[in-house]
Amino acid sequence: MLYVSDKRPRVVTVWQLIAIIVMFGSVFFFLHVDKKSFYQNLLMGENSNYDLTAIYLKNILRMEPENAKYLYEFSNVMIKKGDYDMAEATLKALESLPSNNFWKKKALLLEYELLKRQYYMTNDPKVRQNLLKKMSKLYEKIVNAPFFKKLPLLKMQRWLSESWFVKRPDIRLEILAQITAEYPRLVKYNEELLQEAIALKRYDLALKALKNMERDLDRLEGKEYRDRLHLLIQGYEALGQTDKVRELLMRDYRQSRNPEDIFKVIQLLVWAGDYKQAVALGHKYQDVLIQNRKDAQRLLDLYLQAGRVEDARRLSLELLKRFER
């Protein structure tokens, strides 16, 4: 007999003794048996209630996080067997691991692939919509995870493309921002960031893209230079940065014989109230600006607007000679 006090003895029954032996035996078994086989056998017997299974697995991981590998492998086995509910419950449990855990990263990626596989295996619109919502949330979680920033460019490109599938242009923008921050000279991604940032009114990101593309402008030549310059001008125009547009246009017209480029600079000077410089620019490029009636009329209007009556008179006489032949 065992005593809990001097006065009240308590007898341990045979069944209680057996229970104690079984409990300690289970602990010994748990500590020494092959964990992978143990989990598979145990969880296969719990497949009737996936919510309870997930809770149970989270408790296991909290006590023994080193078992994450076996649970990840188990979820892979379940996917191959087609038991997607059990696989999802197991992967959900792995999400409870710390953010920097290797197996949490693997679980997030595998869970996404699992949901996508389920999406393509059904034609039910409601089921697909529900799966797409899950994928959208998981996609955001993956992109915001610490490991994502360390992915190589090729893998980031894959997740960038995935944004169209889950219909998350906002997350796509964040990925583009990460790529251009890491690789600022990749014009393709800066162009995408610029266009999509303006569309979503993320002008801060649009400005970063423009700064990246402007950084090596002076090293470009010929068509490449002009294409980049025009892209920058359009971008700054969209952001309403008139002074910056004017600065770039002033650089542009010096290398241009295109009347439209020169008229853009003249118009900016007029908006700024600098009629003197606008007229001087008109004089300098007058031969270029009067190649057709429409452009000639624009230059004539400039002279009249600036109060340069004599210049307007002389231009009118020249135009009569040119176009009335």
The predicted-structure confidence for 85-143, as pLDDT tens digits, reads as follows 888 888 887 877 787 888 888 989 999 999 999 999 999 999 999 999 999 999 999 99
pLDDT (mean) for 151-177: 95
Distance CA 217, CA 232 (A): 10
- Is the model's pLDDT at 21 over the cut of 70? no
Distance CA 254, CA 267 (A): 16
Contact present, 179 and 186 (Cβ < 8 Å): yes
Running DSSP on this structure, what letter comes out for residue 291?
S
pLDDT range class, residue 159, cuts 50, 70, 90 = very high
Q: Which amino acid is at 142?
A: I
pLDDT at 27: 44
Running DSSP on this structure, what letter comes out for residue 7?
S
Instruction: Tell me which of 23-27, 121-125, 235-239 is least confident.
Output: 23-27
Give me the architecture of the 33-150 domain, per CATH.
Alpha Horseshoe (1.25)
pLDDT at 203: 95
Contacts 24+ apart (CB under 8 A), 35-40: 35/67, 35/70, 36/70, 36/73, 36/74, 39/67, 39/70, 39/71, 39/74, 40/74, 40/77
- Is the model's pLDDT at 31 over the cut of 60? no
Distance CA 146, CA 149 (A): 6
Instruction: Tell me which of 3-7, 80-84, 159-163, 186-190 is least confident.
Output: 3-7
State residue 181 phi and psi, 5-degree precision: -70, -35
Exposed/middle/buried for 238, CB within 10 Å: 0-12, 13-18, 19+?
A: middle
Q: Which fold has domain 152-255?
A: 1.25.40
What percent of the chain stands above pLDDT 70?
A: 77
pLDDT at 229: 85
| pTM summary value | 0.65
pLDDT range class, residue 50, cuts 50, 70, 90 = low
pLDDT at 69: 78
Q: Where are the domains of the chain?
A: 1-32, 33-150, 152-255, 267-325
Instruction: Tell me which of 50-54, 184-188, 237-241, 286-290 is least confident.
Output: 50-54
Fold agreement between 33-150 and 152-255: yes
